[in-house]
Amino acid sequence: MVAGGDHADAPWAASLVAGGIAGAVEGFVTYPFEYGKTIAQLKTAQNIPTPKNPFAVVHNVYKTEGLRALYKGVGPLVVGSIGKDAVRFLSFDSIKSTFKDRETGRLSPLRSLAAGMASGVVAALTAVTPSERIKTALIDDARGAKRFTGAMDCCRAILAEHGIKGLYRGLAGTMLKQAGATAMRMGTYNVLKDMEKARGVQATTASSFLNGCIAGTVTTLTTQPFDMIKTRCQSAKGASTAEAFVGIMKEYGIKGFWRGTTMRLGRTVMSGGILFTSYEWALAIVAPMMRVVVEKDALLKE
């Protein structure tokens, strides 16, 4: 069984399950870097200077507060990652099938990006925005007021104070980020995979991991401004997209939109490799099982 194989005929349920598994693995393993990146982007009550090196941030938090502190807010992110990546892989696999060229059966680079953008919007609307709002509020709160005892308490407080729209604070920024990030990540990975296939390069675990790392790097550098705006919108106090934009410009200038890039690269480069490798492996296990179920169901109906 090799990660990176061709699963074009995989049932839609297999894409959904494999995407959820991949999201959970990637989210948990790389969370400390997400934690460090979020701290760098938020203006904390203590206003403590934050190192640009993600390893230094992770080390400092671990040294002063322990391992548990690095996983503050991990629950909402993992749950959100399961939903986000399940929806993202399912919608991307479904959308790219309709975007393929009818004559060649291939997906051009532009169509890959378009398919990724569409699946990113779907993910932002269904799973990402609420989970990111809770995760960001928990991290911000942990560095300041310490109002919330956990994810559920945070969710209840947001709903009590702002209603359901409170969970969708930063929706515009999140949609822009997800549309751009998924377009670049899924699109880049798909283009690299198609290029290798066209040249007769055998798909392996190593190639899936490397392609994922490259896709993660491209994604981070092109979508960081959206991530910065989204994080500001989803802090414990919350802010509108316009307020977040103006605040960043006043405090840091144009370069402020790339604040936390090094932190995010520390996570996304590795996360891209982990995500796609986990997805390919999970799909290789789940797809055959799903095919058996589908075939049995078809026989019973006959």
pLDDT in tens, 137-180: 887 787 677 788 888 888 898 899 888 888 888 788 788 878 88
pLDDT value of residue 4: 47
Residue 7 located in a structural domain: no
Which residue range is the domain that position 135 belongs to?
12-300
**Is the predicted pLDDT of residue 241 greater than 90, yes or no?**
no
pLDDT value of residue 194: 83
Lowest mean pLDDT among 170-174, 272-276, 279-283: 170-174
Mean pLDDT of 216-223: 86
pLDDT value of residue 186: 85
DSSP labels for 254-282? Answer: GGGGGTTHHHHHHHHHHHHHHHHHHHHHH
pLDDT value of residue 22: 92
Tell which phi-psi region holds residue 2, choosing left (phi > 0), alpha (psi between -120 and 50) or beta.
beta
What is the H or E stretch that residue 186 is in?
helix 171-198
Q: Are 56 and 103 in contact (CB under 8 A)?
A: no
Residue 6 located in a structural domain: no
Residue 3 located in a structural domain: no
Among 211, 203, 223, 194, residue whose Cα is nearest residue 273: 211
Q: Indicate the number of domains in the chain.
A: 1
Residue 2 located in a structural domain: no
Residue 200 located in a structural domain: yes
Mean of per-residue pLDDT scores for the chain: 79
Residue 4 located in a structural domain: no
pLDDT in tens, 2-47: 444 455 566 778 888 998 999 899 889 888 877 777 776 665 434 5
> Which CATH number does the domain housing residue 51 bear?
1.50.40.10
Length, in residues, of the chain: 302
Residue 18 located in a structural domain: yes
Mean pLDDT of 191-202: 86
Say whether 21 sits in a helix, a strand or coil: helix
pTM, rounded to two decimals: 0.62
Give the side-chain half-sphere CA count within 13 A for 275: 30
Residue 128 located in a structural domain: yes
pLDDT value of residue 80: 76
pLDDT in tens, 101-145: 767 667 777 887 888 888 888 888 887 888 888 887 887 787 677
Among 71, 44, 38, residue whose Cα is nearest residue 146: 44
